[in-house]
A and B are shown apart, each in its own frame.
Chain A
Amino acid sequence: MTALPAPGPRRLGLVIDLDICVGCHACATACKSWNGGGAVTAPLTDFDPYGAAPDGVWLNRVHGFEVAGPAAPDGMTLHFPRSCLHCADAPCVTVCPTGASYKRADDGIVLVNPDSCIGCKLCSWACPYGAREYDMAEGVMRKCTLCVDRLEDDRLPEAERQPACVMACPTRARSFGDLADPASEVSLLVAARDGRDLMPDLGYRPTNKYLPPRPRRGETAALPEAGAHGGAADGVADGRAVAHPHPQDAGLAPPRGFWRLVDRLLSL
């Protein structure tokens, strides 16, 4: 049971676009809401929820970082949703002494059977991504299920048979699909946008991919020094803005007529 199954026909997972995630936590709260009452992971216990030090089990957490790199030499805000990556080589499954932690052969989803989990926490030690959280009240481990109870519920409209976090995302930063199928929408996204693995050096081969942020306005990925300051060229090409005297206005036409008046009033 805890031996990993042979790779199946499908590898269901998420593609998360770090370029357009605004860090609103809608995915995290939608996840908590669905799975706190769902068929697989409920309850996701909260402790002292309205007190001074609230704590609880969440299957998805959104971090906010300030980062700098070639895409933004002067720094940028990066919102980073973190949940189970449903790894191809998932040691959280193989370390499990009871068989409660398992990977589904057909679609690669990693699940915990709460009825046979003994709460030894070793799987959470084996996960570098912090995907598993222990429920102190229930004495068992909890993790993202990719909302299997949505995917397989044929009473739901076809369009809603996807994870709650994907449904909730207001900026469509999250996409769900089969990453084993090179023609799927998610696979095409990964190919077009250089989708990344987290901590690839550990060799866990995560299924979920993260799309890196595009270069900020006024910067270019290849030549960060070229667009650092000044420059007269205007416009956007291939999603990458070239240097602009007012980077925040790059790509926008100057307002005219009535809107110019509004712009002036707002600028007072």
Chain B
Amino acid sequence: MHPAASVILFTTLSGAGYGLLGWLAAAALAGGALPQGPAAVALVLGLLAVTAGLLASTFHLGRPERAWRALSQVGSSWLSREGALALLTYPAALLFGYDLFVWPLGGAWPAIVAGVLLLLCLATVAATGMIYASLKPIPAWRHPLVVPGYLLFAAASGALLLLPLDLAAGGRLQPGLGLAAMLLCLLGLAAKAFYWGSLDRQSGRAGAPQGAALGLPELTAMRPLDPPQGQPGYLQREMGFRVARKHARRLRRIAAALAFLAPALLVLLAVLLRDPLAATALAAGAGLSCIAGLLCERWLFFAEARHVVADYYPPSP
């Protein structure tokens, strides 16, 4: 699949934003609230990341001025569900901020608001994953780790964005948040390694002969003779993207190192360090490294995914 910058930015940034907002809500639920200053920065940063991601996604549209129509089909479409859940997260996050900074809500309300915000963050990221996981013509995305992967990567990058803010404010959420971030990085790495491994074992359409694309599964050989058009068209540009195996290997290593390994090591150092300034800087570096690595991971997620329409455009022998 063509790795469009708009969709890569959308899934990576909104994932990190929802991860950050989710951790903020989870911390409040667990009773370990941040001081007001860092909490405000985290809330604004989370909303900015989410908004930047959603705006980036509209650049993928041919008619962005009609984007509001995408909220109408929550009954059947995961894209519609994702949009609706994303929009619902805004009032929940704003109510959360209202409780923290403007007028504390009494009774059980703060917990209810934080709980709803956390659930909406999780649901939105899961819906993002389902947009891809629900597409049968792209066998790679039918992998059972696609949706858990989106949740893991959002949680990891969100934790790594909250960590420097917490460390700068004295590390009230430590060592819990640091340990969680490291654990999520390692889980993320394991999930991605498993996904890449099964991608390498998957050749073409599992269990379906090439001729099935023509309704002729009995064919023993099939090669292109006359292409339908002289130049690559929309289908080949959008669905026929191919990345050389050698490049993919290198990019996988870069993604794994930047998104998971480097952040885990930096966080370990940051948690062990006594100096709050150095710890904050290390944690911030871990967050940036993770986002950069996830952008690379997301590029591969699209570039390496083969669409079955490629069966109609087999490579010439």
How far is it, in angstroms, between the C-alpha of A135 and the C-alpha of B62 when the chains are bound? 9
**A residues 46-76 with Cβ under 8 Å of B?**
53-58, 61-71, 73, 75
Is the pair B231, A55 in contact by a Cβ cutoff of 8 Å?
yes
Q: Does B144 interact with chain A (Cβ within 8 Å)?
A: no
Closest to A130 in B: B309
A202 to B21 Cα, complex, angstroms: 38
Binds A, one of B38-46, B92-100, B218-226: B218-226
A64, A98, A197, A201: the one contacting B73 at CB < 8 Å is A98
Can you name the residue of chain A whose Cβ is closest to the Cβ of B2?
A121
**Contact B136–A128 (Cβ < 8 Å):** yes
Q: Which residues of chain A from 160 to 211 have any CB-CB distance to chain B below 8 Å in the complex?
A: 196-204, 209-210
A128 touches B228 (CB 8 A): no
- Check if A133 is an interface residue, CB within 8 A of chain B: yes
A interface residues, tally (CB under 8 Å): 71
Q: Are B211 and A67 in contact (CB under 8 A)?
A: yes
B135 at the interface (CB under 8 A from A): yes
Which residues from chain B contact A125 at a C-beta distance below 8 Å? Answer: 1, 135, 137-138, 238-239, 307
- Cβ–Cβ < 8 Å partners of A53 in chain B: 231
Cα of A78 to Cα of B220 in the assembled complex, Å: 13
**What chain B residues lie within 8 Å of A140 (beta carbons)?**
62-63
B207 at the interface (CB under 8 A from A): yes
Q: In the complex, what distance in Å separates the CA atom of A98 from the CA atom of B76?
A: 10
Contact: B208 with A201, CB < 8 Å? yes
CA distance A43 to B66 in the complex (A): 20
* Residues in chain B near residue A57, CB distance under 8 A: 234
Q: Which of A78, A133, A209 contacts B233 (CB 8 A)?
A: A133
Cα-based distance from A116 to B96 in the complex (angstroms): 35
Q: How large is the interface on B (under 10, 10 to 19, 20 to 34, 35 or more residues)?
A: 35 or more
- Which B residues touch A98, using CB under 8 A? 66, 69-70, 72-73, 80
Q: How far is the CA of A140 from the CA of B135 in the complex (A)?
A: 20
Q: Which residues of B contact A127 (CB under 8 A)?
A: 137, 309
Residue A110 CB within 8 A of the other chain: no
- Tell me, rounded to whole Å, the shortest Cβ–Cβ distance linking A221 to chain B: 9
Give the chain A neighbours of B64 by CB distance below 8 A. Answer: 118
Q: Mark A87-102, 1 if CB is under 8 A from B, else 0.
A: 0000101111111100
Q: Is the CB of B135 within 8 A of A95?
A: yes
Q: Closest CB-CB distance, B26 to chain A, in whole Å?
A: 29
A99, B72: Cβ atoms closer than 8 Å: yes
Are A77 and B225 touching (Cβ within 8 A)?
yes
A118 lies within 8 A of B69 (CB): yes
0 or 1 for each of B65-93: is its CB under 8 Å from A? (1 = yes): 01101111101111110010000000000
Q: Is the CB of A118 within 8 A of B63?
A: yes
Proximity bits, B127-163, A CB within 8 Å = 1, else 0: 0000100111110000000000000000000000000
Q: Assess the B77–A69 pair: CB atoms within 8 A.
A: no
The interface residues of chain A lying within 8 Å CB-to-CB of B66 are 98, 116-118
Chain B residue contacts of A55, Cβ below 8 A: 231-234
| Chain B residues close to A by CB (< 8 Å) | 1, 60-64, 66-67, 69-73, 75-80, 83, 131, 134-138, 205, 207-208, 211-216, 218-235, 238-239, 307-309, 311-312
User: Which residues of A are in contact with B by a Cβ distance under 8 Å?
Assistant: 1-3, 18, 23, 28, 53-58, 61-71, 73, 75, 77-78, 80, 82, 91, 93-100, 116-122, 124-130, 133-136, 138-140, 196-204, 209-210, 212
Which 4 A-B residue pairs are closest in the complex by CB-CB distance? A119-B62, A139-B62, A64-B226, A196-B215
